[in-house]
Every structure is written in C-alpha cells, then in structure tokens.
Structure 1
Amino acid sequence: MISTPTVLVIPYPAQGHVNPMMSFSHKLVDHGCNIIFVNSDFNHKRVVRSMDNNNGSSSPIKLVSIPDGLGPEHDRVNLGELSVSILSTMPSKLEKLIEDLQMNEGIKVTCVVADVFMGWALEVAKKVGIKGAFFWPAAASMFVLQYNVPKLIADGILDTHGSPTSTTKTFWLSSCIPAMDIKVIWWLNLFDSLVQERLFEYVLHCLRDSDNVTDWWLCNSTYELEPQAFSCVPNLLPVGPLSRTCDDNNKSVAPRSLGQFWEEDLSCMNWLDQQQNNSVVYVAFGSIALFDQKQFTELALGLELMNRPFLWVVRQDPNCENKIYFPDEFKGNRGKIVGWAPQQKVLSHPAIACFVSHCGWNSTLEGLTNGVRFLCWPYFADQFFNQRYICDVLKVGLGFDLDENGLISRGEIKAKVDQLLDDENTTPRSQAHGEVKAQHWRKRCFFKELKQVSYLVETLNCLLMNK
C-alpha cells in the first residue's frame, strides 16, 4: 500500500509569494497529497484573522508557522531587514518543525517545495534526508536573469553587490533571449540602496549550491507566454498560471481565498452584478505599493474625471505609517471602494473593462487568464519588466506618462482609460486597443491552466520516486 505523500510548502513571507504557492498547494491536494503550508508567525496570524470560520475549518491544507525573527514593531515591508532576519532565524526553526511534526504528530514530510526566495529551506531538507523542489513565483524571464547573476558578475556587467558596472544600457543573457534593458533588473527598483544590497545578497545565498539540492525548478508561467526564457533553462518546469477561481473540473472554489493577509470584501461582487458588461475600471495595486498624498489625490480625481464606474482597492493597514486621505472634492459616486478584493473573481466578472494595475506577476497572469486589458502603473522590483512585457510583447495594455512634477496626473489617467477603451465608440470593442490580443491570451492561458495537472503530478512522482 502506497501512503499519501505529505508535501511541505514554504513561501517567502509576502502576499505575492503566498498566493501562487497556495494555489499550487490546492492543485496538489486535488490530486491526493497532504499539504503543510508554512507561513511566518506574523503572516500566519494575518491569514487566520482574514478567514471566515467555515473556510478555515474545512481547509484541506494544514497551516503552520515559524518565527521570522522580527518583533511586532518591525516594518516587514523593509525586505532587506526582513530577509536578513529570515536567514538568521528560520532555518533552525524549520528543521525543528519537521522534527516535531514526526515526533509529536506522526507526520513524515515526503518532500519540500520552497520558494526560491526561501532557497535555504532545501538545504534544511537535504540535511534531514528529504527531497525538494524550487518554486519561482514570477516570470520565467526574471528567473533566467536571477539564475545568470554569477555570469553577469563574471562578465563585468554587474559588480558583486548587483549594481551595473558601466554605462551599458542593455545586456544579453542568452542568444535565445532578446537584449534586456538594465532598468528591468528587479533589485535595482527597490528605492533604497541598502535594501537593494541586502536583498540581492540574500537571494544569492538562497541560490547557492542550488543545483546540488534539487533537479526540479517550478515556475508560475507557461511556455506559450515565454518560450525563449524556458528554452534557456531546460529544468524549469512551467506550472502556471496558478489560480483558484475554479478547480480542475471548472467548479467554483470557496467564496474566500485561503492565504489572504486581509479579509476579502465580497460585497463588491454584488456591486459588479449591477453594472453593465465591459464598463468597470478595476484599480488595484497589490499588497506593498504605497502612494504619497499628492499622487493619491491625482488618482482619486482621475477616477472621478473619467466618468465611468470603477472598483478601487484601497488597502487598509493599521500598522502602516503612510497615512493618506481622500481629497475633499472627491465624491466617488460612480465607484465602489473596498479594502481588499477577491481579485480572481473580480477579473473574471463580465462587468470588468480594464485593470489599472501595479503589474505584479500574479495580477498579470490573472488579467491575462481572463482576457482583461491593462493600464500599467508599476511600483517596484519586477513590475517594470512586467509592464514592458504587457505593453510591448503581449500588446494588451498601455503605460502612463509622468508629468513635469513626476506624477501621473488626473488628466493622464482619463486620457489613457479613454484610449484603451475607445471612448468615442467609433470602433467595435473587438477592435479596440489590445482587445483582440487580450482574448487571444485568455484562450491560450485558460487552455494551458487545464493542462498543468499533468506537470504537477509528473513532478511530484519524480520527487517521491527519487528520479
């Protein structure tokens, strides 16, 4: 008799990393695996708090946690400080967790799937005799970039701290990938040079001796989206797009998404039901992006100026020192504002016309899967690469232009929404900017999503059978 495999999944402690790995975990549960999902203590409490009782009690996934080493007063948006603390604290705690699961609960972990940003976890797994796989939550092209950092340093393109060594504007990772602009290097888009250096060194550590701890690399993307990137790393297995709008039998999943740091406001779905098809501008900037008051004011008044219905996610975080206020002249009569939305369900709703997005990779895949066009407003890290990919390669969106004050003005917001949605109604919607391309990628992504189970099962079988 073959026992049910138990997979321990450990994401980097950020919402954009937790989401795809939680979806991945559900896929494995659907095909006969037990899952132990390891959050940091801090995020575990947020996840439990955001869940309703029914969703939490019926979850097939065992939620556990280990400390990240920071106190409650620390700012976990400071990814440099967080990463240093993770590396000094979590490896020993993970090893103890694995031992306690077997000693106290009789649970033997069969394999570990670790976020690349938690790559040290596979060193722990190897130490205790467990097989493992890496999981990359971003675009395959960004993995190729990260994987080739030692080569970029050796070639003199980057110094040992990850900064460009010359005035070179472009570089080549491989003959099969077009030249990359230096501006798409994700760690150069972190605002703070100390954070940049710390996070760069942390990720290098996570990838140290990576080829000696696993032969398996999983990526939340598809070959159809990024054929050139996947051809550069033969062991990189496409298992995306990972989403939980529907299960593998196209049945709706639980009303709330397990793994969210904030409670989803489901009232927005009823509001969307009352709107005309293809009429609503959805505005959401993920779990980290922050605005100063001037830019927030321009955004609010831009949404008012466009004279269209809008659904706007304004994240409520009581621990955040970045306090912003709606301008007095903002009425918001045509819109609905929520603190956190069930985004995958929102983007699949027929009322959605376009997505004003920070271009996180999860949001990018969710928009593509649902055939939604983008207005790109990247904030940091890989989001600038994703914007260029959306606009220049996939051609399903537009970017915003800054004014002389470095702001995206209210007028620019209205103008780009009108341009994207063809406000003059002189062109059929099917021919409006990016619409044909958006529907093309919706079909390709949805078809690919239905095929990912075979990749997941094949990977798991290989891991368990020590192939």
Structure 2
Amino acid sequence: MVELKISMYVSMPGKVNELIQQINASHTHDNITCVLADSLLSWAMEIALDNQIKPASFVSFSATASVLISSIPKLIQDGIISHDGTPRKKQMVEASPSMPAMNTSSHFVWARNRLQLSNRPFLWVVRPDIADKLNIGGFQERVGSRGLIISWAPQQKVLKHPSIAHFFTDCGWNSVLEAITNGVPLLCWPFSDDHFLIEHYICNVWKIGLGFNREDGEIITKEDVISKSEELLSNGKYKANTLDLKEKLLNSIKQGGSSYNNFMAFVAWLKA
C-alpha cells in the first residue's frame, strides 16, 4: 500500500502527462479536453492547466467538510485552532451562515475520538486484518446464528433489505448517502476525518440517527450502545425523518431537481 501511494505521487504525474500529450498529438477526434480527478490528486489539476485542458475536481467528502477545510486559514488567524489543527479551546464556531454552529472539540473534521448485548440479529462487516486483531472467534460462537460476521458485503443490497432496522456506521459520507437513499436510520460511531461533522448533521440537524456520549472521555459503554439502539428501534421519528430526507434526496436527482441541474450544467461546461 505504501509503495502504491508513492508511485501515485511520484511516477503517475509524469506518465499521465505523457499519455495526454501523446493522445492529443495524434490529431484524432478523441483528444482529451478535460481532466476529472479526485480532489486529493492536486497534481492532476496542474497537468491539465499545463496542457491548456479544463481541470475539474471530484470531491468525495461532504460539501460541509469542504467548507470547513477551506476555513482553516481564518480559523488559525482568529486564534480558534493552532497551526497543527488543534483547537485552542472548546467553543462553538459557525463556518458558514448556512451551516449550524459546530463544537471545535468534537465536530471538526480533524478531531480524533475513538466499536452482542442487543439480543437482536445483526450483520457485522469486519476487514480480515482487523478481525485478526480483535480475535472475534469466541464472539462468533457466543452469538451463534443470531449474528453473522463477514469480511465484505454488497452494502447497497443489504441496506435495501426490508429487515434492516438501522445501520451502525462510522459516518463515512458514501455509507451515509446509501443509508439515506434506502431510508435506514443511523447509529453513529465516528472515527476520524469528516466523520464527526457528518455525525453532527445526522444527530442534530437532520435527526435521522443517534450518537454516543463522549463527554467523560473516549470510552463508550455497552449500556449506551444498547440504549441508543433500542431508541432507534422504538422511536418512529428517526425512520420518518429518514424517509422524508430520502424523498428530498431522490427528488434532487430527478430531471429538474437541483443535483440533476447542477450535473447538466457541469456537462454543458465540459462541452463548451
């Protein structure tokens, strides 16, 4: 994995630049007119500009996280965070008038906080390398046929199944979107990056899920897990709110919807 990352930033830029120039020098109708790349691959944008090609960045994390990240210079200037990103004190901050106030110690995307008693059937997806560290063999024996532990699952198909009551997630943006589009409430255990900001929206803005109490430290008790899980199952408002948000999301991607119109505007820009 380390070697792959090194080659991505050392070898790939030159190879991509060489490929673009080779294709565009062939004088065919298949010239490259735009470079669309992940926002983390900034070198791709530089290559596009050097070759006088339109650059477009694909941002895989939430728009609110992007706003917060772009606010870093001002947050440093205002003395809210230090140059290494550490909050100077616990306080509420508004990164944008259209975003709710956020707690510097728990909602910032760089904040780092640290996943059988529910007596309900469950599916647990655990990567093999993590499963080895957790030594979950005995756990599987205890839960028997009530719980299934696997290394991978077709998440969209699982979330579409009518027996899914809620999704215990780390609040990764793609997983959250998939849960919403399938009308599944969320139980949140964020780990890093933009997870904490997304958890804030899930629990406090959209009200489609619940998080855990970390005020007394990073330990989340088994009683809290059971309590929050039962509340999601018994309180119909979370399911209702999720279904309402699902309808809004699906309407936005239909013809005439905001996401549809934005995408078509992007396609028009590409063709211009």
TM-score, structure 2 as length reference: 0.83
The question of whether the paired residues in 2 share the 8 Å contact of 1:421 and 1:433 is answered with: no
Tell me the residue number matched to 2:21: 99
Question: d(CA) in 1 for partners of 2:167 and 2:197?
Answer: 17
Match of 1:328 in 2: 138
Counterpart position of 1:361: 173
The answer to whether the Cα contact below 8 Å between 2:185 and 2:209 also exists between their aligned partners in 1 is yes
Question: What 5-or-longer segments of structure 2 have no aligned partner?
Answer: none
User: Which of 211, 219, 230 is 1:399 aligned to?
Assistant: 211
1:115: Cα distance to partner?
2.0
**Contact 2:38-2:57 at 8 Å conserved across structures:** yes
User: RMSD across aligned C-alpha pairs, in angstroms?
Assistant: 3.0
Following superposition, the deviation at residue 382 of structure 1 comes to: 0.8
CA 1:411–1:161: 2 relative to 1, 3 Å:
closer
Tell me the CA shift for residue 376 of structure 1.
Answer: 0.6
Aligned-partner residue type, residue 396 of structure 1: I
Asked if 2 retains the 8 angstrom alpha-carbon contact of 1:131 and 1:464, the reply is no
Deviation at 1:117, TM superposition (A): 1.7
Tell me, yes or no, if structure 1 residue 350 matches structure 2 residue 162. yes
Q: Quick one: distance in 1 between partners of 2:90 and 2:228?
A: 32
- Return the alpha-carbon distance in structure 2 between the equivalents of residues 435 and 188 of structure 1: 29
- 1:187 match: secondary structure: coil
2:3 to 61, 66, 71: 71
**One-letter code aligned to 2:134:** I
Secondary structure in 2 aligned to 1:133?
strand
2: CA distance, partners of 1:363 / 1:321: 20
1:355 deviates by 0.4
Match of 1:460?
A: 267
Contact persistence 2:185–2:239 (CA under 8 A): yes
Paired residue for 2:199?
387
Matched positions, count: 265
Matched, 1:126 2:49: yes
**Matched residue SS, 1:117:** coil
| TM-score (normalizing by structure 1) | 0.51
Match for residue 92 of structure 2?
Answer: 170
Residue number among 329, 335, 340 corresponding to 2:152 in the alignment: 340
Deviation of residue 400 (structure 1)? Answer: 2.6
In the alignment, what sits opposite 2:77? 154
More helix by share: 2
Query: SS where residue 323 of structure 1 aligns?
Result: helix
* 2:113 is the counterpart of 1:181: no
Q: Which has the higher contact order (CA 8 A, sep 6+)?
A: 1
Letter in 2 for 1:464: K
The amino acid that maps onto 1:311 is L
- Runs of at least 5 residues in structure 1 that lack an aligned partner in the other structure: 1-41, 43-69, 73-81, 192-290, 296-301, 423-430
Query: What is the one-letter code of the residue matched to 1:326?
Result: I
Distance in 1, matches of 2:60 and 2:144, equals: 35
* Cα distance, 1:307 vs structure 2: 2.1
Residue of structure 1 equivalent to 2:188: 376
Q: Give the aligned residue type for 1:119.
A: S
CA distance in 2, matches of 1:321, 1:336: 13
Task: Give the CA deviation at 1:346.
Answer: 1.4
Name the SS of the counterpart of 1:332 in structure 2: helix
- Is the CA contact 2:71–2:95 (under 8 Å) kept in the aligned structure 1? yes
Asked whether 1:445 is paired with 2:255, we answer: no
C-alpha distance 307-167 of structure 1, shift in aligned 2 (>3 A): closer
1:426 aligned residue: none
The alpha carbon displacement at 1:322 in A equals 6.4
TM alignment of 1:247-258, pairs within 5 A:
none
Matches within 5 A, 1:80-99: 82=5, 86-99=8-21
Aligned with 2:124: secondary structure?
strand
Q: Distance in 2 between matches of 1:417 and 1:396?
A: 13
Conservation of the 8 A alpha-carbon contact between 2:89 and 2:104? no
1: CA distance between counterparts of 2:269 and 2:169?
38
Aligned equivalents of 1:170 and 1:404: distance in 2?
A: 19
Moved over 4 A (4+): 84-89, 100-107, 402-406
For the residues of structure 1 that align with 2:11 and 2:83, how far apart are their CA atoms?
25
For residues 232 and 12 of structure 2, the distance between their equivalents in structure 1, rounded to whole angstroms, comes to: 46
- Residue by residue, what CA displacement relative to the aligned partner does 1:358-403 show, whole Å, maximum 9, x if unpaired? 1111111111111111111111111011111101111111113469
**Aligned-partner residue type, residue 60 of structure 2:** P
How far, CA to CA, are the matches of 1:170 and 1:403 in structure 2?
A: 15
**How far apart, CA to CA, are the structure 1 residues paired with 2:222 and 2:102?**
32
What is residue 435 of structure 1 aligned with on the other side?
Answer: 239
**Per-residue deviation, residues 441-464 of structure 1 (Å, max 9, x unmatched):** 111111112243442232122133
User: Over residues 307-326 of structure 1, what are the superposed CA-to-partner deviations in whole Å (9 max), with x where a residue is unaligned?
Assistant: 22211111224xx7962211
Structure 2 Cα separation of the partners of residues 382 and 367 of structure 1: 17
